[in-house]
Structure formats: C-alpha cells, structure tokens
Homo-oligomer: A and B are copies of this chain.
C-alpha cells in the first residue's frame, strides 16, 4: 500500500527575499507534486545566497521530509553556490560530474565552453542528473535532495525528469465549494464538521471577492474520496439550511 510522502521546498535567492522577483516556483512545484506524485509539500523556506545558511537548511529539511526541492543558485556566477553548499551539507566532494561536463561541452562547443559554463558541471560527488531540455545545464539529485534552477520556464521544462527519482504517495483528492456568505456566518458549524472528520478530511476556509460579491471558498482535501464526498454533502446541507447560494467549480 502507498504511504504518505511529503516534501519541503527550499528557495535560494536574495532576489525573492528582497521582493524584487515574485516567486512562481512554489505553487508550480507544489501543484505538480500533488497532482502527479501524491506528494504533499509541508514546508517552504526562502533563504539568502549564504553558504552557512544553505548548509544548515539542507541538513535540517532533508532529515525532516521525504524529499527536499531546492531552486536557484546553480548557474555560472559567484552568487550560485547551491551545489557547493549541498556538498558541504552531505560532506561529499564538490567536483566535475562527467556526464554533466560532456552534455555542456557538447551544447556550447569546446571553444565556447569557458570557466563559468564549466562551473555548471560541478556537483556533489554521487549526484544523479536531472536533465534540462531547454538550456542544457542539468539539475541534480543527491540523497533525498533535488536541485533545480530558479528561472521558472527552465524549471518547468525539467520537472518531469524528477519523476523517476520519486516514490509516489497516496493520491490526494480535493474539492472546492464556493459559498456566497461571510466566514463568520458558518464558522461555528464548519468547525463542528471539521472536528468530527479531523483524521480523514482537511477543511480550509478562504474568503474571496468575486464580481462584487463576497464569498467563502471551502476547500476539502483527503486521501479518501468517499469521506471527502460525505463531508462535502454535510457542507452543502449546512448551506441549504442557512439559505446560502453555492457555486461549484
């Protein structure tokens, strides 16, 4: 039987922390893992390009979760220090990966394969490659840590190549009911429903504003489709009693 498999995402980059760049990788990776692998992201951290900080976070997250996905810091410049930091975290040599070197040498041609580009073939010893169909420079996996680039379009093109390294978890079913009401009108009864199904179904309540109307999106998530349906019928019943309109997506 499949077990619960979880993951953490470690975003490495001053540009996200400073607010200069709006992160797009968290939602993408999380949705992809959930839909394709039944893996739940349970923690995200965004940290600066500081070796000591990367090492500490890689060690602690890799102990706590089934997988850790890092993004950013695997390019050719001085602030790209993810691979060397992960090598330190796992106390392995930081060296040229032969296959990565060959891929990059072929892509750039021998003449244009300068030191900056060669740096992208440096990885922790024992890494396996995550191939990059868009710009050649591969990511890598070592132990339970998968390293991907920070540029969303490149990361998106590589994500399918992570699949073969991942153990699949239980499929997570999800349903959203949009209720045209305010949270405080249903919070008491919703809390009672959640209390009863606590172990099986997770109920989230998120206010929204749409077409000038105020509403609440009730998101239910469970590995049991049967229990999910049961809880959703309880919520629909509650809406009916309170004369609240429902809009289902």
Binding site for B on A (CB under 8 A): 11, 14-24, 26-31, 34, 40-49, 75-79, 114-117, 119, 151, 153, 174, 183-188, 190-191, 194-195, 202-207, 209, 219, 221
Knowing A115-B187, A205-B77, the reply to whether A28 touches B18 (Cβ < 8 A) is no
Q: Which 9 residue pairs of A and B lie closest in terms of their CB atoms, listed nearest first?
A: A116-B184, A116-B187, A19-B30, A78-B191, A19-B31, A44-B46, A19-B27, A77-B205, A76-B184
Knowing A15-B219, A78-B194, A116-B188, the reply to whether A45 touches B42 (Cβ < 8 A) is no
Q: Which residue of chain B has the shortest Cβ distance to A33 in the bound complex?
A: B19
Q: How many copies does the complex hold?
A: 2
A28 CA to B22 CA, complexed, in Å: 9
A115 CA to B151 CA, complexed, in Å: 46
A197 CA to B26 CA, complexed, in Å: 32
List, in ascending order, chain B residues with CB within 8 A of A23's CB.
23, 26-27
A1 CA to B185 CA, complexed, in Å: 51
A195 CA to B78 CA, complexed, in Å: 9
Picked from B19, B117, B203, B221, the residue with its CB within 8 Å of the CB of A28 is B19
Whether B219 and A20, one on each chain, are in contact in the complex, defined by CB atoms closer than 8 angstroms, is yes
Q: What is the minimal beta-carbon distance from A137 to any residue of chain B, in angstroms?
A: 10
Q: Which residue of chain B has the shortest Cβ distance to A112 in the bound complex?
A: B184
Name 20 extra pairs, CB < 8 A, besides A23-B26, A79-B204: A15-B206, A17-B40, A18-B31, A18-B221, A19-B34, A20-B219, A22-B27, A42-B47, A43-B45, A44-B45, A75-B205, A75-B207, A78-B194, A78-B195, A78-B203, A79-B194, A114-B185, A115-B188, A151-B207, A153-B209
